[in-house]
Structure 1
Amino acid sequence: MNDRTALVTGANKGIGKEIARLLVAEGFTVYVGSRDAGRGEKAVEEIGGGARLLVLDVTDAEGIAAAAARIGTLDVLVNNAGVVVDDSRPTELTVDGLRRTYETNLFGVLAVTNAFLPALRRSPAPRIVNISSGTGSLTWGADPEREFAAFRGQGAAYRSGKAALNALTLYYGQALAEEGFKVNALAPGLRATDLHPRAALASAGDPAEAAEGAVRLALLADDGPTGGFFSWDGTPVPW
């Protein structure tokens, strides 16, 4: 099984880089998706083994098409690239801030997934993992007993985009189920990355721990779940 291939977007740092590292350890050839060639090449050198650079900006339609044309068969796609552009509450949020957030965190997932579907369909066991967020759970966000309710709507662009990504994950799971795909979303938990100032808190966890959860979903057996939303530790997360 050492001829398996994977693509991880936004893999030059953080959780994405750790996912790429773990998949290489599993014997995959892993395309390290990175907007910046220099940072991507540095990540590839650090990961070693089967890591390969794939310059990929998930907001660039032409670049996505060119990247997809380079890959014949793809077994695993991890849509990890994400941004926090505007952390405002909806009362202060700008349309531009919402749009720029969605361009990467939602529209980029759709564009990349659809571009690489032909390559995924050549795999005997295609898997798609979308890196979401627990803050995208509407159930948790509405629960006064959980910390997310205390945000009072802060981070509306990022959180609503992840809620929409969860919905898209469900629909992809349903649309591709008969073809043997497994499509799931992962809530990685608060991790020590440069995505958001909260990641600098002492409570922020190791990105590698979250990556282990993503790899479990990437390696699901044929009887595994699809169209689901799971925490990094494997427990289901409510929509």
Structure 2
Amino acid sequence: MNDVALVTGGNKGIGHEIVRQLAARGFTVYLGARDPERGRAAATNLTGDVRSVQLDVTDADSVQAAVRTVDSAAGRLDVLVNNAGIMVEWGVGTADMTAAHLRQVYEVNVFGVVTVTSACLPLLRRSANPRIVNMSSGLGSLTLLDGPVQGFLAYSSSKAALNALTLVYAKALQADGIKVNAVSPGLVPTDQNAAAPFPRGDRTTADGAVVPVTLATIPADGPTGVFRGPNSPSDVIPW
């Protein structure tokens, strides 16, 4: 029986490539997208067992409906990739950021992850090898922010919070055999950084998906509570 995966924000960018690579490995992949039409269009562009599902991480009812779809068809979930994320900083200086900006980002990057993870836990507990991959960023590393890296108030703090969630979940769910890890895909030109005033990076979405897919396919004795970089599974980013 195929492993079953759910990828949030799977209709474009790195998320879409993660869906593609997992499907190529024989997974049944549920491509989560806020817009059902865009989700269906994205799924039709891929080969393998890819199924679009409407999923807005900021809408608990939408999340529950998506989980029910997976449950009714598969009865379990082997991999959850919390990929959906946003950034609002372009054109807004740190001194001009408001709490409203942070709430907007946290709704997706932090609270959305908790909403989806909580809803998926019953299905993950039915898996023989359950894995959660959280898409983070080196911009959320407190160690790097304390060094040469210039952070962004909303985005960096939201990814730092996501890293904390990763560690707490990893310890809390270890008894259930659920592995929870974080990964940075590196600087890939996507819609998220389309307005960046600096070079957006020269990595492809395929490059950015390699390590997330590796963490999504680790064996039952694989690592948990780790933060990996974009270059290889042994590329460790400090918390």
How far does residue 202 in structure 1 lie from its aligned partner after superposition? 6.2
Q: Distance in 2 between matches of 1:20 and 1:199?
A: 29
Partner of 1:205: 203
Does the CA-based 8 Å contact 1:191-1:199 persist in structure 2?
Answer: no
Shift in alpha-carbon separation, 1:32–1:199, aligned structure 2, 3 A: farther
Q: Distance in 1 between matches of 2:217 and 2:14?
A: 17
Which residues of structure 1 form unaligned runs of 5+?
none
Q: Distance in 1 between matches of 2:11 and 2:115?
A: 20
Correspondence for 1:120 among 99, 118, 124: 124
Does the CA-based 8 Å contact 1:184-1:228 persist in structure 2?
Answer: yes
Q: Structure 1, residues 120-162: CA drift from partner, whole Å, max 9, x if none?
A: 1110000000000011011111113xxx2xx3x5x21001000
2:64 is aligned with what amino acid?
A
Q: Distance in 1 between matches of 2:200 and 2:58?
A: 32
Correspondence for 1:76 among 55, 79, 92: 79
Partner of 2:89: 86
**Partner SS, residue 96 of structure 2:** coil
Q: Distance in 2 between matches of 1:199 and 1:132?
A: 21
Does the CA-based 8 Å contact 2:182-2:228 persist in structure 1?
Answer: yes
Partner of 1:65: 64
Point out 4+ residue stretches in structure 1 off by more than 3 angstroms.
86-90
Shift in alpha-carbon separation, 1:200–1:52, aligned structure 2, 3 A: farther
Moved more, 82-91 or 5-14: 82-91
TM-score (norm 1): 0.92
RMSD in angstroms over aligned alpha carbons?
Answer: 1.5
Partner of 2:5: 6
Partner of 2:162: 165
**Partner SS, residue 173 of structure 2:** helix
Q: Distance in 1 between matches of 2:104 and 2:134?
A: 19
Q: Distance in 1 between matches of 2:7 and 2:104?
A: 21
Q: Distance in 2 between matches of 1:199 and 1:177?
A: 41
Does the CA-based 8 Å contact 1:192-1:199 persist in structure 2?
Answer: no
Partner of 2:109: 105
Q: How many residues align structurally?
A: 231
Does the CA-based 8 Å contact 1:30-1:51 persist in structure 2?
Answer: yes
Does the CA-based 8 Å contact 2:24-2:47 persist in structure 1?
Answer: no
How far does residue 199 in structure 1 lie from its aligned partner after superposition? 9.1
Does the CA-based 8 Å contact 1:193-1:200 persist in structure 2?
Answer: no
Residue correspondence of structure 1 range 220-239 to structure 2 within 5 A = 220-232=218-230, 233-234=232-233, 235-239=235-239
Q: Structure 1, residues 77-111: CA drift from partner, whole Å, max 9, x if none?
A: 00000011234444211111100000000000000
Does the CA-based 8 Å contact 1:190-1:199 persist in structure 2?
Answer: no
Partner of 1:23: 22
Q: Distance in 2 between matches of 1:199 and 1:67?
A: 36
How far does residue 21 in structure 1 lie from its aligned partner after superposition? 0.2
Q: Distance in 1 between matches of 2:47 and 2:37?
A: 15
Correspondence for 2:215 among 203, 214, 217: 217
Correspondence for 1:175 among 169, 172, 175: 172
Which residues of structure 2 form unaligned runs of 5+?
none
Q: Distance in 1 between matches of 2:133 and 2:200?
A: 28
Q: Distance in 1 between matches of 2:65 and 2:220?
A: 31
Shift in alpha-carbon separation, 1:193–1:223, aligned structure 2, 3 A: same
